Amino acid sequence: MVNSDYLKNLNEAQKQAVLFLDGPLLIVAGAGSGKTKVLTSRIAHIIKNKKAFPNQILAVTFTNKAAKEMQDRVSKILGSSAVGLSWLGTFHSICAKLLRKHASAVNLNSNFTIVDTDDQIRLIKNICKAENIDIKQLAPRYIIAIIDKWKNKGLYPSEVNINPKDIYEKTILPVYKIYQQKLIELNACDFGDLILHSVKILEKNEDIRKIYSKNFKYILVDEYQDTNNSQYLIVKSLSDKYQNICVVGDDAQSIYSFRGANINNIINFRNDYDDIEIFRLEQNYRSTKNIVNAANSVIDHNKNKIDKEVWTENDFGDKVQISSNQSDIAEARSICQKIQTISDSKLSEIAILYRTNAQSRPIEDSLRLNKIPYRIFGGVSFYNRKEIKDILAYLRLIVNSNDEESLKRVINYPARGIGLVTINKIIISAQKNSLSLYDTIKRHRELNIPFSNSVSLKLQNFVDLIEVFKIENEKLNAFDLTKELLNKVKIIDDLKKDESPEGISRVENVQELLNGIRDFIEDQKEIADSNDNLSEFLSNVSLSTDFDLDYQDEDYISLMTLHLSKGLEFKHVFIVGLEEDLFPSALSYNTRSELEEERRLFYVGITRAKENLYLSYANSRYRWGKLIYCEESRFLNEIDKDFVDVINHIEFGSISNDISKKKILFKPKGNLRKLSSSIPENNSIKINFSEGDKVSHEKFGNGIIVKIEGLNNDTRATVKFSKFGEKNLLLRFAKLNKV
């Protein structure tokens, strides 16, 4: 049954976009403006008015979820009349369908397989081995990233022009050539090939191109700002005959250039077709006036954009809250405090967004401490990430050499030539002699295990490494030992070989682990009779990660990167780490276009919020274990001050709404001194606390001092915290403030 009310639910701009059916159309859809409703209504209107049959409509989305939602909405409007929308889907699914029909045109059979990332890595490794390319110097993931870049541009190996001075691309191009040959031999293609092969089929086979161009009377493309060159070429080719092409997108939300997306596809759309019509969907149905206005004031600083003015009839709502915090730990704690005051919403209506995955660590730690359920989207919890588990395995082995799971995890990481055959021999011998794996390796010569001299030497070197760090563990704190271990084993050097976004993220995670260990060391200084050694740190991590296992709640806070938040919406949104070099990223300073993309990413984050938006930054944070001062992000200063409230957490127990105090009070050049260096070494430290004082602590929250004992530098306070019970703190180190 046809629902004829679909036009009645549209505003005037939306209705015009739906009713315009003849010729090229650009719909500039601002955030929260109902573009999906327009697309589905437009498809329904085409079919209802018999402009085309369902199978004569090509509708392209970027996610399977979006495609399904579009299909469901059209079916709801048209009922059985929607049957036959066989060309509605993602670029990859549509190209796979086309490629199955015409596989022979690119030397494939129609039953070709699609390889995943793991298959790609194995294939690249084999090629590198055959070509004597050292994968320690040129990571397979990086090679794949470069090949994907070329495919996104629509280039076969023979079409790639490289800079002769670029030694990496010079090495990768022959690999690309062999890789493509291997895929053909295997009757396989990767995800990039689905689109690349489709481009070439349409380019080189006029008859095929004419068939599809004639069939698709109407073409609709969602999220057009995210299309790469290959996708652009497909759309351009298929729209050649009728030119009834409708592209929908928002240049202000173009954030995927690292995947090959080209913002100029949407900005220059008017140059690709004659007599185009442009409709702007500027009414926002999602956010409050203050949030919409704040977003507009930020994106107005970009030069390369399509002019529009997003507006809303929603209430003004609360102003955007900007929070300054002493540290990233304090930032995480203030977020938890704010979450606990949000009583009118489910946790699922709250999101915490960050620029990089590594930033989740202090937030996760604080959420765990406060027993607030959360879920990481697009990744795994910090301490469960592979590179973190690898390093923790080394540390556990140093503390406990009988930890066999840790040993098996690191014995050949980074690769040191100890393979599965060797490990199996060790396991068999250990069982035979009732020894641990480590002791078996340690005694492998006297046990007469049949190893070659080279393997025996590698095993001995591994044991020597662990034994040295066992001795170091008696002398060094957890931070200094971990830093020395990373340098010795060269894990960071190994990770840096992968220059893909994923590889960079793994290096950032290692950096954040060091920051977390440094935080732990500073915390231990406060607590009387505590240890800052490796065992204590590992116990602390185990207690933290065990909390993950208890999550059965359906209701949880969503944690994700800003990139992953695109297309989502939440009642309450926190964007953290708004500091120069972090957001915008230090990598974005090279060109204006890179910086503008960072600003668009910020815009995307802002426009996820429906009712409340909280922006925060830290005045200091650890980087590679060194405490540095941070400068607030330029993006914060680009928000019109009429739409914000500024909170300045200069002291843990104090809050100021004075905008004039927004800037931190001092910012010396260089690194902060270690906290310990500022502690007087004489015996005349001044104590400003008394029993009964109400205090606030960065990590433990509010409490009351119940006892003070000791003298001078050894003066200790027993503080009863409302959530964490009693803590015995050394006052010369304690991060306490009276409240």
Burial class of residue 556 (count of CB atoms within 10 Å of its CB; 0-12, 13-18, 19+):
middle
Half-sphere exposure of 321 (CA within 13 A, CB side): 22
Which of the residues 16, 36, 56, 243 is marked catalytic? 36
DSSP string, 217-246: SEEEESSGGG--HHHHHHHHHHTTTT--EE
Q: Tell me, yes or no, if 286 is annotated catalytic.
A: no
Q: Give me the residue label for tokens 């207690």.
A: 543
CB 494 within 8 A of CB 139: no
| DSSP structure class, residue 685 | P
Q: Give me the residue label for tokens 């397979």.
A: 140
Burial 2-37 (b: 16+ CB within 10 A, else e): eeeebeeebbebbbbbbebbeebbbbbbbbbbbbbb
CB 221 within 8 A of CB 245: yes
Instruction: Give the chain's radius of gyration (CA, Å).
Output: 30
Residue 595 amino acid letter = L
CB 394 within 8 A of CB 406: yes
Cα(449)–Cα(65) distance, integer angstroms: 56
Q: Give me the residue label for tokens 């009863």.
A: 720
Cα(144)–Cα(124) distance, integer angstroms: 8
CB 186 within 8 A of CB 264: no
Cα(49)–Cα(62) distance, integer angstroms: 27
Q: Tell me, yes or no, if 223 is annotated catalytic.
A: yes
Alpha carbon distances (Å) from 346 to 86, 197, 377, 575, 723: 38, 46, 18, 19, 22
Q: Give me the residue label for tokens 């990571």.
A: 139
DSSP string, 692-712: T-EEEETTTEEEEEEEEES-G
Which stretches of 22-116 are DSSP H helices? 35-48, 64-78, 91-101
Burial class of residue 370 (count of CB atoms within 10 Å of its CB; 0-12, 13-18, 19+):
middle
Cβ atoms within 10 Å of 261's Cβ, excluding its own: 22
Cβ atoms within 10 Å of 133's Cβ, excluding its own: 19
Which of the residues 223, 250, 522, 698 is marked catalytic? 223
Which of the residues 148, 193, 222, 512 is marked catalytic? 222
Cα(150)–Cα(142) distance, integer angstroms: 13
Three-state SS for 675? helix
Q: Which helix (H) or strand (E) holds 575?
A: strand 570-575
Nearest-CA neighbor of 254 among 563, 502, 35? 563
Which of the residues 120, 171, 225, 253 is marked catalytic? 253
324 - beta bridge partners? 617, 648
Pairing assessment for the beta strands 620-623 and 626-629 based on DSSP bridges:
antiparallel
CB 150 within 8 A of CB 134: no
Nearest-CA neighbor of 195 among 155, 226, 161, 241? 155
Nearest-CA neighbor of 365 among 331, 340, 389, 394? 331
Say how many residues make up the chain.
739
Which of the residues 42, 361, 368, 608 is marked catalytic? 608
Q: Give me the residue label for tokens 């240049």.
A: 251
CB 323 within 8 A of CB 331: yes
Q: Tell me, yes or no, if 35 is annotated catalytic.
A: yes
Q: Residue 435: what are its φ and ψ, rounded to 5°?
A: -120, 160
25 - beta bridge partners? 246, 277
Q: Tell me, yes or no, if 404 is annotated catalytic.
A: no
Cα(13)–Cα(20) distance, integer angstroms: 11
Name the packing angle between helices 35-48 and 12-19 (round to 10°).
40
Residues annotated as part of the active site: 35-36, 222-223, 253, 608
